[in-house]
Amino acid sequence: MKILVNFIGLLILAINTYAQNITDTFDYEKKTNYSGQVVSTQEIDSLVMLEKIVIDGHDSNIPFYHFQNKRNQNGPYIILLHGLGGSKEDWVYPSMPYLQWSKDLTAIKDSLLTLGFNILIPDAKYHGERSYELNFRPAGQLPPMLSKNQEDGKNFNVMMTSTIKDIRIIMDYIQQRNKEIKTAFSLVGYSMGAAIAILLNASDDRIVSVVACAPPLNHPQKEAATLNWPEEIEQALATVTPQNYSNLQQSPILLLLGEQDVFYTKEEVISFYEDVPIQQKEVKYFNSGHVLPTDYINDVISWITKDYYK
């Protein structure tokens, strides 16, 4: 019996050590004070002010939109996360070539504002106003199966890890600015943004709710495994693969998926879902590919407005 107890104790220690080691990837140097520059303001209506803010991030400046809602100025906050090759503009200004998809993102943002939420929308590293960090190359070229370039594999890891650290810094800044330590943050991400949301939900206990739309659950690790790259690069890509964080999810999570989406299989979804340790988890499929039908907006809003705030 004593041997069994000792074994269980060692197993728990090993699991906790593994969880700590893998989430260490997203650790960052926390500052006492964060200085942000409000570079522009725009009154959306009598209740909503849009600020564009730039702050010092993990390794470069972070531009982001801050929709401050007079209905509830200090929170809760929703962070909207764009996909690979997109930008913060996707949630604000509908545009071609995927006009309806872009309109749907904007509708999510507008609905959340109407409901009284404050909203943060950052540019991921190498995207939008941060494209200069990749010498203005399209970030959509970075996935291993497209690039087949080991250096881009490293860049992909940097893109994901730095963006996650940057978002955590933005949360620090908002808490400091609002003088509210217990500010609640929820995440809505699409594609790459959904992957980032899953990684954040494993590494930051300020997250209270997540909607992951069409997340590439086993990418980029799945791609890298076919390329015979050095173990160092494969491991770096594994540390930014959502599937490896399924058992570390801390807050309620909803997966919205397309039945014909090529970025995950139903078996991969089942594996992810079953590994999530919390009870408040759901999966919903739509008859679509990677671009979900407009109906998914209702599911996003319904999940975010559930009473999960502490």
Report pLDDT digits (tens) over 269-288: 999 999 999 999 999 999 99
Task: Give domain status of residue 240, yes or no.
Answer: yes
Residue 310 is assigned to a structural domain of this protein: no
Portion of the chain with pLDDT greater than 70, in percent: 91
* 122 located within any domain: yes
Residue 22 lies in a domain: yes
**pLDDT at residue 13, rounded to an integer:** 39
Torsion of CA 36, 42, 44, 47, to 10 degrees: 60
For the segment 243-263, the average pLDDT, to the nearest whole number, is: 98
Q: Is residue 104 part of a domain?
A: yes
Instruction: Determine, yes or no, domain membership for 123.
Output: yes
Edge-to-edge strands, sheet with 77-81: 36-43, 48-56, 61-69, 118-122, 77-81, 185-190, 207-213, 253-258, 281-286
Assign 3 a pLDDT band (cuts: 50, 70, 90). low
pLDDT band (50, 70, 90) for residue 213: very high
Residue 11's pLDDT is 40
Please write the tens of the pLDDT for every residue from 126-182. 999 999 999 999 999 999 888 999 999 999 999 999 999 999 999 999 999 988 767
CATH number, domain containing residue 192: 3.40.50.1820
Q: Give the per-residue pLDDT at 12.
A: 41
Contacts of 11 by beta carbon, 8 Å cutoff, 6+ apart: none
| Per-residue pLDDT band at 248 (split at 50, 70, 90) | very high
Summarize pLDDT for 196-211 with one digit per residue, the tens.
999 999 999 999 999 9
The chain-wide mean pLDDT, for the chain, equals 91
- In-domain check, residue 18: yes
The reported pLDDT for the residue numbered 268 is 98
Structural domain boundaries enclosing 174 = 2-304
Which comes out higher in pLDDT, residue 103 or 73? 103
Q: Is residue 93 part of a domain?
A: yes
Q: What pLDDT band is residue 109 in, cutting at 50, 70 and 90?
A: very high
DSSP labels, 245-277 = GGGG--S-EEEEEETT-TT--HHHHHHHHHH--
3-18 burial: b if 16+ Cβ within 10 Å, else e: eeeeeeeeeeeeeeee
Q: How confident is the model at residue 58 (pLDDT cuts 50, 70, 90)?
A: very high
pLDDT tier, 17 (very low <50, low <70, confident <90, very high otherwise) = very low
Interval 87-107: pLDDT, tens: 999 999 988 878 999 999 999
Q: Which residue has the higher pLDDT, 310 or 151?
A: 151
Question: Is the pLDDT reported for residue 307 higher than 90?
Answer: no
State the total domains in the chain. 1
Return the SS3 of 11: helix
